[in-house]
């Protein structure tokens, strides 16, 4: 019992000493409005693990609002921890190559993060500041005041990665952050209309250059329409403006032709 008390006191003393020597991370208050970065775990053969971390500029540019979601975590090995790491994941998917945690103010990992003093934690230690994962599925939302969506800020995370670990720090998944363009959503081209007031085919919205557009109109001005098999007369049938031939002059010509026959 005495040994346990001494150990706790020693740990508390170490944390106190470190907090007095560590450069506190400043709160970020000028992040660009609307900036958003997402990292999504890739599918891996033999693993059910999936999930993502989404970071968006916080209200009034203050900090970053995170949405975290994981599923398919192992039954054993928790509580699971996750951090932003200092390097991106290479093309071969090697999570070890992401290096240490994001730590621009050189806090180090010698002692655990104290969530009651998040400014003294590594900026990338998300689970240290906001809680670890103790279930096979997990989701959370929170705002971290010490991270940035501004590429010029030391606490910028948008070109880095995150790693999720077992409790013993074994790396079981990782993914790179990528910017999401919120101002340019995919265009919507609507439907193509085949009729208009002039009976010509016109698309209501121009489609992309590689789209296939039907050019068949419901009526074609001035062109003959061949009779169907059910038509009983031998005369050709006309539509549109061609019907105007059967006016008063045309009627007399047809009557004269019938008398001759």
Intra-chain end-to-end CA distance of the chain, in Å: 127
Residue 158 pLDDT > 90, yes or no?
A: yes
Q: Looking at the predicted structure, is the pLDDT value of residue 192 above 70?
A: no
The whole-number pLDDT of residue 196 equals 35
Integer CA distances (angstroms), 35 to 54, 123, 155, 222, in order:
11, 18, 14, 57
Could you tell me the CATH superfamily of domain 22-179?
Superoxide dismutase, copper/zinc binding domain (2.60.40.200)
pLDDT at 101: 98
Sign of the Cα torsion 169, 123, 25, 143 reads negative
* Whole-number percent of the chain with pLDDT over 90: 58
Tell me the per-residue pLDDT of 94-109, one tens digit each, with 9 for 90 and over.
Answer: 999 999 999 999 999 8
What's the pLDDT at 181?
Answer: 81
pLDDT digit string, tens, across residues 27-62: 999 999 999 999 999 998 889 999 999 999 999 999
Q: What is the mean pLDDT of residues 236-255?
A: 40
> What's the rounded mean pLDDT across residues 66-72?
98
Torsion of CA 224, 229, 235, 236, to 10 degrees: 0
- The pLDDT tens digits for 125-141 are 999 999 999 999 999 99
> Does residue 104 contact residue 111 with C-beta atoms inside 8 Å?
no
pLDDT of residue 183: 58
Average pLDDT, the chain: 75
Domain ranges of the chain: 22-179
CB 107 within 8 A of CB 122: yes
According to the model, what pLDDT value does residue 206 have?
37
Given a contact cutoff of 8 angstroms between Cβ atoms, the answer to whether 204 and 191 are in contact is yes
With bands split at pLDDT 50, 70 and 90, how would you rate the model's confidence at 211? very low
Q: Is residue 197 scored above 60 in pLDDT?
A: no
Higher pLDDT, residue 243 or 172: 172
Q: How much is the average pLDDT of 192-200? A: 35
State mean pLDDT over 177-199. Answer: 51
Is a pLDDT exceeding 70 seen at residue 118?
yes
Q: Per-residue pLDDT tens for 145-156? A: 999 999 999 999
Per-residue pLDDT at 201 exceeds 90: no
């Amino acid at each position: 019992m005495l040994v346990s008390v001494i150990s706790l006191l020693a740990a508390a003393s170490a944390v106190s000493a470190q907090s007095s020597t560590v450069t506190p991370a400043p709160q970020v208050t000028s992040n660009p409005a609307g900036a958003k970065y997402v990292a999504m775990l890739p599918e891996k053969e033999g693993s059910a693990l999936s999930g993502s971390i989404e970071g968006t500029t916080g209200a009034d540019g203050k900090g970053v609002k995170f949405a975290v979601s994981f599923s398919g975590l192992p039954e054993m090995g928790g509580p699971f921890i996750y951090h932003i790491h200092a390097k991106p994941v290479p093309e071969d998917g090697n999570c070890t190559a992401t290096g240490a945690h994001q730590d621009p103010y050189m806090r180090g990992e010698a002692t655990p993060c104290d969530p009651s003093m998040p400014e003294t934690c590594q900026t990338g230690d998300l689970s240290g500041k906001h809680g670890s994962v103790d279930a096979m599925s997990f989701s959370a939302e929170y705002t971290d005041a010490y991270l940035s969506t501004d590429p010029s800020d030391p606490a910028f995370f948008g070109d880095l990665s995150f790693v999720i670990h077992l409790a013993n720090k074994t790396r079981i998944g990782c993914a790179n952050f990528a910017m999401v363009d919120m101002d340019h959503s995919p265009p919507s081209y609507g439907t193509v209309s085949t009729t208009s007031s002039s009976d010509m085919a016109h698309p209501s919205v121009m489609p992309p250059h590689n789209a296939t557009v039907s050019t068949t109109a419901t009526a074609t001005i001035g062109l003959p329409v061949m009779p169907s098999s059910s038509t009983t007369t031998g005369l050709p049938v006309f539509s549109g403006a061609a019907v105007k031939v059967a006016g008063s002059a045309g009627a007399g010509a047809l009557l004269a032709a019938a008398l001759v026959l």
